[in-house]
Amino acid sequence: MRVTLIHNPKAGRCSATPGALKKLLRDAGHKVLYHSCKERGWKDALLEPTDLVVVAGGDGTVGRVARRLAGRGISMALLPSGTANNIARTLGQLEQPFKRLVRGWQGARLVKLDVGVAQGPWGERYFIEGVGLGIFANLLSRPASAKAKKKKHPVEDGLSRLQAVAKRAEPIEVAAMLDGRDISGGYLMMEAVSLPYVGPNLHLAPDSKLGDGQFSVVLATKAERGRLLEHLENLKEDREGLAFLPSLRGRRLQIEWAGSPLHIDDRLLPNEKAKPQEMAGRVEVRIGCCSVEFLIPGDPKAKAPPRA
């Protein structure tokens, strides 16, 4: 196959070099076009003819690539090498050697992942993980210190920092509608998530079903603070721990945004360069309009599927 490889050489704690990744793919019989996402030109590489786009990186890199491939009919595959790896975790791609993943493409199946759209006064933007207000957006507005970034367990540190924010957070009054239903109220957290996980492996939506054209809106009021803190503590030991927070399924969420921190995946709004008219207004979150297909490795000993 012709493979476009997008690599984040600084992702997580991955030690794979560009040379090693290219050799891995070429040894498997693929023609490789390599680009580092830290260098200019990688976005243009996604416009070149290819059979498969492979991402060696974390959620940020996977999300940036997926948003550009949404609706184009080009499949993706993962070589997970980030810190949280929420997308790879959702797709069951963690804790497998890269060589096994690449060999498994031979008998792979395709899994559809819905790509959502968040539209607001800033314009329109695709999202893969979720959109939300409250404690997680507040956490993104307070970047980790250089010392914290070097810790051996960054996910656990992220959960601890989120706990600290949740302990002292005050509810945000939100006017919102979900598929025509009024869900306005005071919330410590409102998250519209298309994956079971967001941020530091925060397992919020175990009821998520990939490719069904809906997202889960997870809501935490002041009354749920205790359960939320307990859930965050338990996640340090059990990544699959289930959250017992109120959630609703839907396709269209409308929020009257008053300018509090709001995140779209890992992007925080409003940003420092925002114009006054971009700092508040109506936000509409939709899903089901487009998707990206991921190649999920099967048995590497299986025969390749017949060509159409």
250-275 pLDDT, tens digit per residue, is: 999 999 999 999 999 999 999 888 89
230-243 pLDDT, tens digit per residue, is: 988 988 888 777 77
Q: How far apart are the first and last CA of the chain?
A: 15
Looking at residue 71, what DSSP letter applies?
Answer: T
Sheet holding 130-134, edge to edge: 247-250, 215-220, 189-193, 130-134, 262-264, 267-269
* Residue 243: per-residue pLDDT: 75
Phi, psi (degrees; rounded to nearest 5) at 61: -70, -45
196-208 pLDDT, tens digit per residue, is: 998 888 888 988 8
Give me the CATH code for the 117-289 domain, please.
Answer: 2.60.200.40
Q: What pLDDT band is residue 300 in, cutting at 50, 70 and 90?
A: very low
Determine the Cα–Cα distance for residues 30 and 138; give it in Å rounded to an integer.
43
CB atoms within 10 A of CB 206: 14
Query: What sign results for the dihedral spanned by CA atoms 191, 63, 164, 158?
Result: positive
- Average pLDDT across the chain, whole number: 90
Give me the CATH code for the 2-115+292-296 domain, please.
Answer: 3.40.50.10330
Residue 148, pLDDT > 70, answer: no
Determine the Cα–Cα distance for residues 247 and 244; give it in Å rounded to an integer.
9
**Across 52-61, 223-232, 284-293, 297-306, least confident range:** 297-306
Give the domain ranges of the chain. Answer: 2-115+292-296, 117-289
Determine the Cα–Cα distance for residues 229 and 224; give it in Å rounded to an integer.
9
Whole-prediction pTM = 0.89
67-123 pLDDT, tens digit per residue, is: 999 999 999 999 999 999 999 999 999 888 999 999 999 889 999 999 999 999 999
* Residue 299: per-residue pLDDT: 52
Helices 154-168, 225-235: inter-axial angle, 10-degree rounding = 170
Query: Would you say 192 and 206 are in contact if contact means Cβ atoms under 8 Å apart?
Result: no
Determine the Cα–Cα distance for residues 235 and 238; give it in Å rounded to an integer.
5
Q: For the CA atoms of the chain, what is the radius of gyration?
A: 20
Burial class (CB in 10 A: 0-12, 13-18, 19+), 298: middle
Look at strands 215-220 and 247-250 and give their pairing.
antiparallel
Determine the Cα–Cα distance for residues 278 and 275; give it in Å rounded to an integer.
5
Cα–Cα distance list, 219 to 84, 187, 227, 249 (Å): 22, 7, 12, 11
